[in-house]
Amino acid sequence: MENQKLSRRMSEFNRHTLGFKLTIERLSAGYGAARILHGISLYLKQGETVVLLGSNGNGKSTLIKSVMGLVRPTAGKIFLEEEGELYNLLDHPTEAIVDMGIALVPEGRRLFPTLTVRENLLLGAYRRAARKERVQNLEFCLQAFPALADRQRQLAGSMSGGEQQMVALARAFMSRPKILIVDEPSVGLSPIMVKQVISKIEELKAVHGLTVLMAEQNFNQAIGIADRGYLMVQGEVAFEGKTAADLLNNDFIKQAYLGG
C-alpha cells in the first residue's frame, strides 16, 4: 500500500522532470529516550544547493546521519527517486547509500590525523566498486583539488583547519558522488578559509554537476551559494525558504543570525 503510493508519486515526479530527487518525509529520530527530530519533511532535487540552517543542537547532524544510515529513524521515510527507480534509504546500510551516489563530509572532518593526505583520500574509496578504481579516482580527485596534489605525503593532522576541510571534501569526492552532504564545513575556520571552502563547493557543483545539501551556522556564507533552504529549530522545520532571498528576508533569521 505504502509502496504503491510511493510509486504513484514517483511516476508523477518523472512526468515533470528528469533526474533525481531525495525526499525526507515526516522523519522522526533520536538517541534512546531522547527524541530529537519531530516529523521533518524536506527535499533536494538534482542540481540544487540546499542549506540547512539552525544553531547548535537543533538536529541538523541527526538529520544528515539519518540520510546516511548512521542513525536509525523511528518514523518517517527517506527515499531517492531516480530514472523510474525508487530507493528507500531506510532499507539500506551506509555502504549501499554511498553506492547510490550520496557522500558525506562529516562534521568535524573526521580525518585520520596520523595518516597522510593520500591515505586519507584512498580511504574515501572503501566501497568495493570504488576500491577497484581507487587509483583512477585519486587522480580524478587530485585534478579537482590540485592544491592537495603536492601535499599527498603530508600527515593530515599537521595541516591547518582549512586544509583539513579540503581533504575531507576531497575524500568524500573519491566515491564520485552525485549528492554531496556537507555538515558544517566552516566550523573553526578563519573567514578567508570559509570563503575558500565554500567556493570549492561551488566549483565542484559547477564543474561536476554536484547536488549539495549543506548544514551551516555561518548563514551569510551559506546563503550566498544556496538556491533555497530550511531553518531547523528543535528538530522541526521552523521556516522553509523557497529562495535564498526568502531566507535573507525572514525576520527570525535576520534577528537571530544575521545581526539585525
Tell me whether residue 123 is exposed, middle or buried, using C-beta atoms within 10 angstroms of its C-beta: 0 to 12, 13 to 18, 19 or more. middle
How would you list the strands of the sheet with 49-53, edge to edge?
A: 102-105, 179-183, 211-216, 49-53, 228-233, 236-241
56 contacts which partner out of Mg ion, ligand ATP, none, CB within 5 to 8 A by kind? Answer: ligand ATP
* Residues sharing a CB contact under 8 Å with residue 60, sequence separation 6 or more, in sequence order: 52, 54, 183, 184, 215, 232
Residue 61 as a binder of Mg ion (CB under 5 A): the answer is yes
Residue 60 as a binder of ligand ATP (CB under 6 A): the answer is yes
- Characterize 128-137 residue by residue with b for buried, 16 or more Cβ atoms within 10 angstroms of its Cβ, and e for exposed: eebeeebeeb
Query: Nearer to ligand ATP by C-beta: 48 or 184?
Result: 184
Residue 151 has a CB neighbour count (10 Å cut-off) of 19
Q: Which of residues 101-160 bind Mg ion (CB under 5 A)?
A: 107
Q: Which of these ranges, 41-49, 55-63, 220-228, 243-251, lies near ligand ATP under the rule CB under 6 A?
A: 55-63
Taking the complex as a whole, the smallest distance from the CB of residue 103 to ligand ATP amounts, in Å, to 18
> Pick from 23, 49, 58, 137: which binds ligand ATP (CB under 6 A)?
58
What are the distances in angstroms from CA 113 to CA 79, 103, 106?
34, 21, 15
Q: Which of residues 104-143 bind ligand ATP (CB under 6 A)?
A: 107
> Pick from 39, 57, 84, 209: which binds ligand ATP (CB under 6 A)?
57
58 contacts which partner out of Mg ion, ligand ATP, none, CB within 5 to 8 A by kind? Answer: ligand ATP
Question: Is residue 26 a contact partner of residue 77, using CB atoms and an 8 Å limit?
Answer: yes
36 contacts which partner out of ligand ATP, Mg ion, none, CB within 5 to 8 A by kind? Answer: ligand ATP
Residues contributing to the site for ligand ATP (CB under 6 A): 31, 34, 36, 54, 56-62, 107, 184, 217
Residues contributing to the site for Mg ion (CB under 5 A): 60-61, 107
